[in-house]
Amino acid sequence: MLDLEALPRLSRAERVQALDTWLAGLLAEALAGTPRPSGRRGVVPTTPAGQGVALVAVGSLGRRELPPHGDLDLVLVHDGRPEIAALADALWYPIWDAGMRLDHSVRTVAEAVSVAGDDVKAGLGLLDVRHVAGDAEVSAALRTATLATWRQHAGRLLPELRDLRRSRGRLVGELGFLLEPDLKEAYGGLREGQVLRALAAAQLADQPPADAGEAYALLLDARDALRAHTGRATDVLVRQEQRPVAEALGLADDDVLLRQVSLAGRRLAFVADETWRRVDASLVRRPRARYRRVRREPLAEGLVRQGDEVVLARDARPAADPGLVLRGAAAAARADLLLSPYTLKVLAVHAPPLPEPWPPEVRWSFLRLLASGRSAVPVLEQLDQEGLLSRMLPEWDRVRSLPQRHPWHRFTVDRHLVEAAAAAAELTRDVDRPDLLLVGALLHDIGKGWPGDHTDVGVVVVGEMAARMGFSPPDVATLVAMVRHHLLLPDVATRRDLDDPLTVDRVVEAIDGDPALLQLLHALSQADGAATSTSAWSPWKAHLVAALVARVAARLGSSATPEPVLEPTEPQVTTPAPAIPGPTEPVTVGVEDVLDGQQITIGAPDRPGLFSLCAGVLALNQLDVRAARVSVQGRHATQVFAVRPRFGRAPVPEILADGVRAALEGTLPLAERLRQREHDYSQDRAPGRPPRISWFDAEATGVTGLVEVRATDRAGLLHRLTAALADAGLDVSSATIETLGADAVDAFYVADPSGTPIDAGQRERAERALAAAARGEVRDPAGQSARDT
C-alpha cells in the first residue's frame, strides 16, 4: 500500500520508484478483475490478459521528476480491445480513492499520435512517455510513433511552441529577474528545459549543454523543497518561503537562493534563445541549389557578418588581438546582430587579457558597444554568459544576478546597470561627454556587490575601474563624482522645497559649481530611473528633477543646452607630416602612424568643397575620421585628418592621392559611390533619431562660427555634412569628429569666404542643408533633394 504521507519526504528517485511499483500493482489487479468478452462461438481468448495494454507515464512522472504533491499524468494505451473502458475504471478509481490528483486518458497508438500531431501541448507531453506497466511493446510503439510525428510536423508545431513560450514569458516574466519567480512557467524556468529536450527530439538542435542541465536540476531541487515545506502544489517561490527553502537546500540565506535561481534561469533562457535562433533558421524554406554561397559582409577588423550573426574573419587572430572581443561586440550591437555561439567559444578560449590601462582602441570599442543602446543588451548578455564580461571587468562578478529586494526594482543589479546604460544611450546628445555618461550609467551601482553603503563603496571601486580603462585623471574624477552623487538630484527634488534658495545652494555646493557634472547627473538620473521602474521614475518625479536642474543651471549661469564637444577623448590632430609629392600632380598625400590610427595630410589646390571631397575619399577607403584641421596659404590648402582604419588596413598614400585627384577632376562620382557603399553595408542604414544642430556663439572667434551636428552615424556622413556647408556658402577651417555607437557628434568651425560675419539667413540655410545631409538626403544633378536608399 502506498504511504501518501511519506511520499513528499522521499527523494525524487525514491518517489518515482514507489509510484511506479504501486501503479504496476494497480494495473495487474485491474487486469485480473476485469472480465474479458468471449471470442467467436463463446471461446474465451487465449492471449495473456496484459497483452496489448500498457500504462505509460507522461509529464513530470514520465521524466522521473515528479515533485511533492505533483499530479500523475497517465495514459492507458491499448490495441483496440473492447473491454478497455471497464479496465480504465478499475485502474483510475483506486488512484482517486487514494487522494492523488490524476490527469488521465485512454488512447490507441493511432489516436495518441493523431492528438500529438494536432496539439502542440499534447505532443510536447507525449515526448516524455515512459513505460510503467503492461505490454512494453505497446509503449515502445507509442514512443516511436510520437517521435516520428513530432519530427514530421516540426515545421508547424515548433513555431506554435515558440510563440506559446514567449507569450507566457511576457505574461509571467523572466525567471532571472523576478523577486518571487515562478520556477516552472517564467521564461528560463523548468519549461525551458523541457522545450530544449523537445527541440533535440525533433532533431533540430543538439542536446542541451551540461551547464543547462545543472541549472535545470537546481530549479527542480528548489521546487521540491518549496512544495515539501508548504505542503501544497505551488511553483511560485514567494518571499516568505525563500528562507526555509534556502535552508533545505543547504544555502546560506534567501539572497543566495534567489541569486542561484536567477543564474540558473538566465542560463536556461540564454541557451533557449540561442537554440530557437538556430531552429527558426532551419525552418525557413530556402530555394534548393546545389551550391549555396553564404554572403560574408565585413563589419570590422577581423569580423564579418554571416547571415544573421557576426563571425570571425578568416584572417582573425584572437590570441594576438586583445581588442577583438570588444570590437566584435560593438560591431554586432551596431548592426543589431549577435555574435555566433562558435565565435563566442573561440573568444572565450583564446582571447588574451586586456592590457592595463586599456588602449584607446579598446576603450573606444567599449564605448561604441554601450552607445548602441537596446541592441547592446543581448550582446552584453552573451559576453556575460561566456564569462568574457567578468574577464574584462572582474568587479562584475560581484553583482551578477545579485537580487534587489526593493519592489521598485525590476532587475537584478547587473541587469539594472546594463539597462541604465541602454537608457543613457538615448541621452548622449544631451551631454558634453557622452562617453562619461555611458560608463557612469553602467557602473553607478557597482558598489552594491560589496558590504556597506553602495555609494561609498562604489566611489572607490569606480575610481579603480576607470583608471584601468585608461581614462585621464580628470575624467576619473568626474566618473567618481557621478557615482557619489547619482542619487543627489532625485533625492533633493522629491524631499526639498525647490523654491528655497538653500535647496539650490546645496546642489551647487555638492557638484562644486560644475555645469558639466550637473548635466551628466541629470542624464544619469533619467537613465537610472528608466532602468528601475515606472514607479521609480514617474512623470511627476522627472518634472521635479528637471525643475531643480533648471534652477541650479540658472544659479551657475549656464544653459541647459549642451555645450559642444571640442576636446574628444580620442587622439587629436598633431602637426602635419611632410607630404609625399607626386611627380607632376598638384595633389600630395602623406600618411604617418600615430597613437591608435594614422594621420593623413592632403595638399591640393584650394577650391570650394575641397574638404568635403577629401572626406568622401577617406570614407570610400574605409577610414573613420576622428578629427580634422584645414589651413590655406594663397591658393593651396593643407588638410590634416586623424583617422582609424575600419578594417585594420593602413591607408596607402598613392591610392588616396588618386582618389582625391579623380574627385577634383569629376571622374569619381563620390555621392553615387557612397550611396552604393551604404546600400552594401546594411549596418550603416540603421534608422535614428532626428539630427540636432546647434550654434555656439560663445565659442566663435571673430567672423568664425561654431556649429555642432549630432546625428545618426552613416557611411560618408562627414562628406555629406561638409558638402552641405559648402552649398550654404561656408568654408570649414577645422572639425572635431566623435563617433559613439550609432551617434556622431561633429563640430565645425565655419566662416564666410568673403570675411563677413555669418548672418541669420546663412545659418538657416546651413541648418536645413545639414539636417538633410544627416538624414541621408543629397542633391541630385537637377538640384532636387533625394533620399539615399
Query: How is 178-194 classified by DSSP, letter by letter?
Result: -SS-BTTTSBTSHHHHH
- pLDDT over 70 for what percent of the chain? 88
Q: Give the pLDDT mean for 145-150.
A: 89
Residue 47 CB neighbours (<10 A): 10
In this predicted structure, the answer to whether residue 203 has a pLDDT above a threshold of 90 is no
- The string of pLDDT tens digits covering residues 406-442 is 767 889 999 999 999 999 999 998 898 999 999 999 9
pLDDT score for 41: 40
Q: Which residues pair with 747 in a beta bridge?
A: 708, 736
All three cell numbers of 333: 550591437
Q: How confident is the model at residue 390 (pLDDT cuts 50, 70, 90)?
A: very high
Which CATH architecture describes the domain 400-560?
A: Orthogonal Bundle (1.10)
Residue 619 CB neighbours (<10 A): 24
pLDDT score for 700: 59
In this predicted structure, the answer to whether residue 704 has a pLDDT above a threshold of 60 is yes
- pLDDT over 90 for what percent of the chain? 53
Fold of 588-787: Alpha-Beta Plaits (3.30.70)
Distance CA(364)–CA(359), nearest Å, equals 9
Q: How confident is the model at residue 20 (pLDDT cuts 50, 70, 90)?
A: very high
The answer to whether residues 758 and 750 touch, using CB atoms and an 8 Å cutoff, is yes
Which burial class, exposed, middle or buried, applies to 634 when counting CB atoms under 10 A from its CB (0-12, 13-18, 19+)?
exposed
pLDDT score for 686: 47
**Sign of the Cα pseudo-torsion (236, 237, 241, 244, in order):** positive
Rg over alpha carbons for the chain, rounded to the nearest Å, is: 33
- CATH number for the region 7-35+49-152 comes to 3.30.460.10
Q: Give the pLDDT mean for 321-326.
A: 95
- The string of pLDDT tens digits covering residues 653-693 is 999 999 999 999 889 888 888 877 766 655 444 455 788 89
Distance CA(469)–CA(331), nearest Å, equals 20
pLDDT score for 680: 62
pLDDT score for 383: 97
pLDDT score for 48: 55
Q: How confident is the model at residue 398 (pLDDT cuts 50, 70, 90)?
A: very high
pLDDT score for 36: 55
**Which has the minimum average pLDDT: 120-124, 557-561, 595-599?**
557-561
pLDDT score for 44: 40
In this predicted structure, the answer to whether residue 787 has a pLDDT above a threshold of 60 is no
Fold of 171-282: Four Helix Bundle (Hemerythrin (Met), subunit A) (1.20.120)
Q: At what angle do helices 434-443 and 360-370 cross, to 10 degrees?
A: 70
Residue 193's closest CA among 213, 168, 223, 173? 213
Q: Give the pLDDT mean for 521-532.
A: 95
All three cell numbers of 280: 527558426
Q: Give the pLDDT mean for 9-20.
A: 93
What is the bridge-based pairing of β-strands 777-779 and 636-645?
unpaired
Q: Give the pLDDT mean for 112-129.
A: 85
Place of cell 530544449: 196
All three cell numbers of 413: 543589479
AA identity, residue 308? D
Distances in Å between the alpha carbon of 724 and those of 116, 429, 678, 727, 774?
64, 21, 18, 5, 10
| Helix, strand, coil percentages, rounded to 5, for the chain | 50, 15, 35
**Which has the minimum average pLDDT: 174-183, 207-216, 728-737?**
728-737
Place of cell 588581438: 321
Whether omega before 357 lies within 30 degrees of 0, making that bond cis, reads yes
- The string of pLDDT tens digits covering residues 298-312 is 888 899 999 889 999
Q: How confident is the model at residue 789 (pLDDT cuts 50, 70, 90)?
A: very low
| Per-chain mean pLDDT for the chain | 85
Q: Which residues pair with 638 in a beta bridge?
A: 603, 631
Distance CA(376)–CA(338), nearest Å, equals 9
State which H helix or E strand residue 104 sits in: strand 102-108
DSSP, collapsed to helix, strand or coil, labels residue 383 as helix
Q: Give the pLDDT mean for 168-181.
A: 89
In this predicted structure, the answer to whether residue 157 has a pLDDT above a threshold of 90 is no
Distance CA(210)–CA(677), nearest Å, equals 44
- The string of pLDDT tens digits covering residues 538-563 is 888 898 899 999 999 999 985 443 33
All three cell numbers of 441: 550609467
Residue 705 CB neighbours (<10 A): 22
pLDDT score for 489: 95
pLDDT score for 409: 80
Phi-psi category of residue 66: left, alpha or beta, with phi > 0 → left and psi -120 to 50 → alpha:
beta
567-586 as b/e: b if 16+ CB within 10 A:
ebbbbebeebbebeebeeee
pLDDT score for 750: 87
Decide which of 339 and 713 is more confident.
Answer: 339
In this predicted structure, the answer to whether residue 651 has a pLDDT above a threshold of 80 is yes
Q: How confident is the model at residue 578 (pLDDT cuts 50, 70, 90)?
A: very low
Distance CA(157)–CA(123), nearest Å, equals 9
- The string of pLDDT tens digits covering residues 57-78 is 999 999 999 999 999 999 999 9
The answer to whether residues 605 and 665 touch, using CB atoms and an 8 Å cutoff, is no
Q: At what angle do helices 324-334 and 341-350 cross, to 10 degrees?
A: 160
In this predicted structure, the answer to whether residue 715 has a pLDDT above a threshold of 80 is no
All three cell numbers of 232: 501544497
All three cell numbers of 556: 551657475
The answer to whether residues 134 and 60 touch, using CB atoms and an 8 Å cutoff, is no
Q: How confident is the model at residue 444 (pLDDT cuts 50, 70, 90)?
A: very high
- The string of pLDDT tens digits covering residues 255-281 is 999 999 999 999 999 999 999 988 888
